[in-house]
Structure 1
Amino acid sequence: MIFTNKVSKIGIYTAIVLLALVFSAPFLYTLYTSFIPIKYVNTFTGLENWTFDNYKTFFTSDAYSVSKWLFNTVVMTGIILIGNLIINPMAAYALAKLDFFGKKLIFWIVVITMMIPYHMILIPVYVNMAKLGWLNSFAALTIPFLYQAIYIFMLRQFFIGVPNELIEAARMDGLTKMGAFWRIVYPLSKPVLITVAILTFAGTWNSYLIPSTLANTPEKYVLVVGLNSVKDMFFENTPLVMAGVVLTTLPILAFFFVFQKQYMEGISNSGLKG
């Protein structure tokens, strides 16, 4: 029996490793291609021919503004990330624990909003940003996206599972409703907040359609939009294009690997209660 269990575990782990290799193969190819000269594309070459020239080109050539694009991306992602970690939890807590007129109606509006693809309302958003004079600004790239209905729903489901007795005890100790939320409930929701942070970071960092629509001047490009313009200019220079892909992918991978444990905990706790 013990031998059978060991063989079974070995088989499972082998299958997992093989699947991991299959799914990581495209990125490994991208990473490899980004380090080789163009003459070695679609061939295998040793480390002696690898080079950082493709990356140096992005950061040293006057034809690109990668440093500026990267700065724009960091600012946009940071503002949206902070906003989603403040506004979404407050809205979710109100829908989960507070009693007020129209609570159920507001909740169902949030649910219905989740079913509407953002592409359907992009034109009205563009028109509103134009009327406000916010086009080609960080305001247009951030303010409409400081909350997300799906995250409000996830957090609400988590907050429903927080015992009311815990909140009542905090209130008896002299905390206000907001004090009980920020000092008791908010810290307890760390796993699901990290899940929200990862999803927000990945979605914002890799966003193309919205930034390219609301900010269409090169000095306001974010990294994905700017590198996509490089791809259009140098489509046949595969190593240069792949270097751009790596630049946009590595921050997301690093963010996920740092918080992957909390991410899995948040996924398991956010949608199964209530």
Structure 2
Amino acid sequence: MKARKHLALFANYAIIIVLGLLFILPFIYTIYTSLVSTRDVNKLVSITNWTFDNYIMYFTNDAYNVPRWFLNTTIMTGAVIVGNLIVNPLAAFALAKLNFKGKKIIYWIVLATMMVPYHMILIPVYVNMANLGWLNTFLALVIPFLYQSLYIFMLRQFFVTVPNEFMEAARIDGMSKIGLFWKIVYPLARSPLITMSILAFAGTWNSYLIPSTLTNTPKMYVLVVGLNSVKDAVFENTALIMAGVVLTTLPILIFFFLFQKQYIEGISSSGIKG
């Protein structure tokens, strides 16, 4: 019996390792290809022949302007995360704990918007941004990302589980509703908020549709849009293209590994309860 359990455990770990290798091999190939010269693509070469020339070219060649695109992406992503940490929790708290007319209707509208592809509302968003004079500005890059129905739903599921006794005790002590939210409820949502931040980081950092639609000047390009704009010019330079892929992917991996524990806790606490 004990041997059978060990065999089953070994089989489970073997399957996990094999699946893990299958998922990670493409990224390993991408990193390796980005570190070799064009003539060595799809060849195995010694580590002594590896080079960072592809990355150096991105940051030194004026035709790519990667430092500016990287800065734009960082500013946009940082602003979106901060905005999501304010807007979505407030909406989720209202739908979870406050009583007002039309609450259920609004909640179902929020859920319904999760089923609408963003492509369907892209033209109205563009028209509104143009009327406001926000095209080719950071406002156009940030505002469309601030409302996220998925995050509202996720946080609402967590806030529902917060005992009402905490709120009632705070209200008896004279605390306002907004004070109750920021001082009592908000700190309890640390794990789902980190989960939301990771998802927002990944979704914003690699976003192409909105930035490419609302900006058309190279100075305001984000990293993904900027690298895509020069893709045709270096189409045959696979190593250089792979270096661009690594530049857009690595920050997301680092962010995830730093907060993976809180991410898993947030998914378990907000995704299945309520």
Range class of TM-score, shorter chain: over 0.9
The answer for the alignment partner of 1:240 in structure 2 is 240
8 A contact 1:80–1:145 mirrored in 2? yes
8 A contact 1:54–1:240 mirrored in 2? yes
TM-score using structure 1 length: 0.98
Whichever residue aligns with residue 174 of structure 1, its letter is G
The answer for the alignment partner of 1:36 in structure 2 is 36
The answer for the alignment partner of 2:19 in structure 1 is 19
Percent same amino acid among aligned pairs? 66
CA distance in 2, matches of 1:193, 1:86: 10
The answer for the alignment partner of 1:257 in structure 2 is 257
For structure 1, the residue ranges without an aligned partner over 5 or more in a row are none
The answer for the alignment partner of 1:81 in structure 2 is 81
8 A contact 1:202–1:252 mirrored in 2? yes
The answer for the alignment partner of 1:112 in structure 2 is 112
1:160-219 CA deviation, whole Å, 9 max, x = no partner? Answer: 111101111122233211111111111111111111101110000000111001011100
CA distance in 1, matches of 2:227, 2:85: 28
Matching of residue 165 in structure 1 with residue 179 in structure 2: no
CA distance in 2, matches of 1:116, 1:14: 40
Matching of residue 267 in structure 1 with residue 261 in structure 2: no
Matching of residue 65 in structure 1 with residue 85 in structure 2: no
8 A contact 1:230–1:241 mirrored in 2? no
Secondary structure in structure 1 of the residue aligned to 2:230 = helix
The answer for the alignment partner of 2:155 in structure 1 is 155
1:201-257 CA deviation, whole Å, 9 max, x = no partner? Answer: 000000011100101110000000011122221010000000000000000001111
Q: Segments of 4+ in structure 1 off by > 3 A?
A: none
Aligned length: 274
Tell me the CA shift for residue 146 of structure 1.
1.1
Whichever residue aligns with residue 193 of structure 1, its letter is L
Tell me the CA shift for residue 62 of structure 1.
1.6
CA distance in 2, matches of 1:33, 1:205: 23
Tell me the CA shift for residue 3 of structure 1.
2.4
CA distance in 2, matches of 1:147, 1:14: 42
CA distance in 2, matches of 1:21, 1:273: 32
For structure 2, the residue ranges without an aligned partner over 5 or more in a row are none
Tell me the CA shift for residue 267 of structure 1.
1.0
Tell me the CA shift for residue 45 of structure 1.
0.7
